[in-house]
Amino acid sequence: MNNIPGDLKYTDEHEWLRLEDDGSVVVGITAHAQEALGDLVFVELPEVGQEIDAGDGIAVVESVKAASDVYAPINCTVSAINDALADTPESINEDPYGEGWIARITPGDRGDLNALMSADAYQEFLENLDD
């Protein structure tokens, strides 16, 4: 069974978001996503300060078999990136919800976050994918 922390929000593109007290949001990819991609060898990160529209690419995660986009779930501005991934992309495989975080963003409109899935909803989403 997949590891789906209860305190995070999720998207149907298999990204997780952690809403921080300071209003920022941390983004990464889920345990399910990293497992599907296989061993990651490279992560292409956005620039700090970059403004990204919902649905546009915020990062590219590359495994030995595929390069996949990580999409911005909401309109946002990038406030920090996980530089350590340049040297240790495998952090995403090993600790997708911790050391493997990708970027910290400032939402354009916090209301957009309401449309995201809860852990339970994402769990159900994954179960339906398996059908």
Partner 1 sequence: MPFIPHTETDIREMLDAIGAESIDELFDEIPESLRIEGLEGVPSALNEMQVTRLMHERAAQDRDALSFIGAGAYEHHIPALVWQLTTRGEYYSAYTPYQAEASQGTLQVIYEYQSMIASLTGMEVSNASLYDGASAVAEAALMAVRANRKSKSRRVVFAGGTSRTYQKVAQAIAGTQGLLFDESPLDPARGIADPEQFLAGDEPPVAVVIQQPNFLGNLEDVDALTDAAHAVGALVIAVVNPTSLALIRPPGEWGEKGADIVCGEGQPLGVPLSSGGPYFGFMTTRAALVRQLPGRIVGRTVDVDGKPGFTLTLQAREQHIRRSKATSNICTNQGLMVTAATMYLAVLGEEGLARVAAASHRQTQKLVSALTSVRGVECAYDTPFFHEAVLRLDRPAADVLARLAEHDVLGGLDLGVDHPELGNALLVCATETKTDEDIERYRALLAEVMNEQGSLASAG
Contacts with partner 1 by CB under 8 A lie at: 42, 44, 47, 62-67, 69
Q: Which is nearer to partner 1, 44 or 99 (CB)?
A: 44
In whole angstroms, how close is the CB of 61 to partner 1 at the nearest point? 10
Q: Report CA-CA distances (Å) from 115 to 4, 12, 75, 121, 123.
A: 18, 11, 13, 11, 16
The label of the residue with tokens 């920090």 reads 80
Q: Report CA-CA distances (Å) from 14 to 80, 92, 94, 99, 112.
A: 21, 13, 16, 17, 17
Q: Which is nearer to partner 1, 31 or 37 (CB)?
A: 37
In whole angstroms, how close is the CB of 36 to partner 1 at the nearest point? 14
Q: Which is nearer to partner 1, 66 or 84 (CB)?
A: 66
In whole angstroms, how close is the CB of 108 to partner 1 at the nearest point? 19
| 3-class DSSP state of 86 | helix
